[in-house]
Amino acid sequence: THPALTEPAPVIRAPRGPQKTAKGWVQEAAKRMLMNNLDPDVAEHPDTLVVYGGRGKAARTWDAFHKIVETLDRLGDDETLLIQSGKPVAVLRTHEWAPRVLLANSNLVPHWANWETFDKLDQAGLMMYGQMTAGSWIYIGTQGILQGTYETFAGAARKHFGGSLKGTITVTAGLGGMGGAQPLAVKLAGGVSINIEIDPTRIQKRLDTRYLDEVATSLEDAIARAEGYRAEGVARSIGVQGNAADLVPQLVEMNWTPDLITDQTSAHDPMWGYLPPVSADEDASRLRADHPDEYKRRAYDAMAAHVRAILELQKRGAVAFDYGNNLRHRAQEAGVENAFDYPGFVPAFIRDSFCEGRGPFRWVALSGDPEDIRATDRALLDLFPHDERLQSWLRYAADQIAFQGLPARICWLGYRERDQAARLFNEMVADGRLKAPIVIGRDHLDAGSVASPYRETEAMLDGSDAVSDWPLLNFGVGIASGASWMSFHHGGGVGLGFSQHSGLVIVADGTEQAAQKLSRALTNDPGMGVIRHADAGYDHALNVARERGLDLPSLGI
C-alpha cells in the first residue's frame, strides 16, 4: 500500500467524443488526459492515483483530482491553471498563446533533493511524486514505452548481433507499467526473453494485454523453454515469478549465461519500488511499515546481489546494460564498487537518435474511436514513405497493439518531422477526417528535455551530464512556443536527486491558431535535443544542426 489516501477511490474513465464540457478543447484535453491516466485499463494502481513507475501519480489526492477537473471545466481561454505537485493552487489571467496548465512536480532545492526529505513532505501531504508522464497527464499505457524499448533492443541487435536478436536469449526483470514493454520489444527485435517478476498480478496483466506470451513454472523451466525457442529460431517471451535478487544470482550458480541481461524493476525507489526477497512467513509491507531502516537495508543488499550477478554474467559473455532505473548506483551505495562497469542504455544504443532530435512522439484520439488512430497511422505512412524503421513499426503497431484507455499511438520522430506530422493531424481534424481533436505529447525521456547523469545524459562527450539548465530551457521554450500544458519534474526514472526534466503536451483542435502553435512548439522542442547535443560537441548533432537550419551563435552555425 502507498501513503494513505482517505477518500474512497472512484473508477475514472475519460469522456469520449466530439462534445466538450470545458470552455476550450485544450482544457477539455487536459481533463480527459488526466482522467485517462487514471483509467483502470491504463494506470497500474488507480485507486491510489498511481499511474506507473513505482509511485508516479497523476494528482496528489482524490480531493485535488476533483478540484482539478472542476477548474479545467471553468478555465477560460486566457487563463492558466497552476499545479504544484499534483494540487491545483491558482488560476491566473494570462493570454491565448500561454499554456492552459503549468505543472511543477516533486521539485526540491538541490541540497534537500533526496527521498528522505521528499517522504516527509509527501507524508505531510505537501508533495507528490510525478515520475515523468504520470504527473504531466500524457501516459498512454505500456505502448508509450514500447517503441522506445524496441529502439533500445533493436540498437543492441545492430551493435552486437548483426541486426537481429534472432537466436538470442535476453534476461530481464520487472513487468510493471514500463518494464512490461520489454518482452514484446525483444520479440519485435526477433529474440527470446525470460522476464522475472515478483508480482503475479503484473505477469497476468502482461499476458492479458498480449505483451507476454507465456509463463514458466520455475527458472529451470523458463531456461528450458527459452533454449527450445532459440533452437527453433522462434521469437517468444516467457515470464517467471520470483525475485530478481534471487533468480539472477541463481543463473550464475547454474552456470547459464544469457546473451543479453538488463533490468527494469523500480530500483529508483528503494522504499516503495524495489522489493527485497522475504521469507514465506514474512510480510514485506509490514516490515516496511514497522522497520523502515531494516527494510531499506535489505532492499539495498538485494540490489547489490542483483548487480554482482549481472557483472558476473557480463564477464561470462552476456551483453549487459542498465535500463534507466538507477540499479547500478543503488548497488554502488551498497558497496559494489564496480557497479558502473556496464553502460546505461542511452550512451550504448540511443544517443545517435537524440543527436537528430529523434525521440518519442505520441498522440491520443479524444474521439475515443480507434478508427481515428488508424487514419493517423495511414497518414504518417504516406508522409514518411522512406523511413523504413517507422514504416515497419507503424505497420506492426497497427496490427498488433491493444489500446489501453483512449486510443493512442507512439512513434519516434526527429527534428523537422514532428511539426510536419502534427500539422497534418491538425488538418485532418479541421476537414473532418478525424472525429475529434488529437492530443500530442511525449515522454520526458527525450532528446533535449532531461538532465539525468545515470540515464539520458550519461557520459556526455563534454562531461556536462549533470547540467540541468537544458531541461529548464526546454520548459521555457515550450511555454514560449505555444504548448498546451508544460511540466517540470524532478526525480523521474532514476529517483529523487538524480534527474530534472520537462514535459510538453499540445492539442491539435483543427484551428489555424493550433496550426501555428504546433509548428513552433514541435519544431523548437525536438530542436532542443539537437542544440543540446551540438553544444556538447557531437558531430552528428552539429551536422543535423547545419543541414536542418538551426541558428546556433556560439557554434558559428
| 557 burial level (CB within 10 Å; 0-12, 13-18, 19+) | middle
Instruction: Find out whether 116 and 16 touch, Cβ atoms under 8 Å.
Output: no
411 a catalytic residue: yes
Q: Is 168 in the site for ligand NAD (CB under 6 A)?
A: no
Q: Is 179 in the site for ligand NAD (CB under 6 A)?
A: yes
Q: Is 268 in the site for ligand NAD (CB under 6 A)?
A: yes
Q: Which stretch binds ligand NAD (CB under 6 A): 237-245, 348-356, 467-475, 519-527?
A: 237-245
What 8-state DSSP symbol labels residue 181?
A: G
| 461 burial level (CB within 10 Å; 0-12, 13-18, 19+) | middle
Q: Which of 313, 411, 477, 542 is catalytic?
A: 411
For residue 12, what is its C-alpha cell?
475514472
C-beta of 28 vs 44, nearer to ligand NAD: 44
Q: Is 300 in the site for ligand NAD (CB under 6 A)?
A: no
CB of 128 to ligand NAD, least distance (A): 16
Give the Cα separation of 194 and 324 in Å (integer): 19
β 500-508/438-441 pair status? antiparallel
**Percent of the chain as helix, strand, coil, to the nearest 5:** 45, 15, 40
CB of 253 to ligand NAD, least distance (A): 17
Q: Is 273 in the site for ligand NAD (CB under 6 A)?
A: yes
Closest CA relative to residue 327, chosen from 404, 411, 269, 408: 269
The binding track of 317-336 with respect to ligand NAD, each residue x by CB under 6 A or -, is: ------xxx-----------
Side chain identity at 312, as an amino acid letter?
E
- Sole binder of ligand NAD in the list 12, 29, 72, 145 (CB under 6 A): 145
Q: Is 222 in the site for ligand NAD (CB under 6 A)?
A: no
Which residue number is nearest to ligand NAD in terms of Cβ?
176
Q: How far apart are the first and last CA of the chain?
A: 53
For residue 68, what is its C-alpha cell?
482539478
C-beta of 144 vs 526, nearer to ligand NAD: 144
Side chain identity at 328, as an amino acid letter?
R
Q: Which stretch binds ligand NAD (CB under 6 A): 85-93, 192-200, 352-360, 539-547?
A: 192-200
C-beta of 13 vs 45, nearer to ligand NAD: 45
Strand-pairing partners, residue 488, are 104, 502
* H or E stretch covering 361: strand 359-365
Residue whose entry in the numeric block shows the C-alpha cell 481561454: 77
- Render 104-145 in DSSP notation, one character per residue: EES---GGG-SHHHHHHHHHTTS----TTTTTTT---STHHH
CB of 263 to ligand NAD, least distance (A): 8
Q: Which of residues 28-67 bind ligand NAD (CB under 6 A)?
A: 44, 52-54
Q: Is 175 in the site for ligand NAD (CB under 6 A)?
A: yes
Q: Is 348 in the site for ligand NAD (CB under 6 A)?
A: no
Instruction: Find out whether 196 and 247 touch, Cβ atoms under 8 Å.
Output: yes
Give the Cα separation of 477 and 94 in Å (integer): 17
CB of 549 to ligand NAD, least distance (A): 30
- Sole binder of ligand NAD in the list 84, 170, 195, 265 (CB under 6 A): 265
- Sole binder of ligand NAD in the list 46, 130, 135, 174 (CB under 6 A): 174
CB of 543 to ligand NAD, least distance (A): 26
The binding track of 475-494 with respect to ligand NAD, each residue x by CB under 6 A or -, is: ------------------x-
Annotated active-site positions, please? 411
Binding residues for ligand NAD (CB under 6 A): 44, 52-54, 145, 148, 173-179, 196-199, 202, 243-245, 264-268, 273-275, 323-325, 445, 493
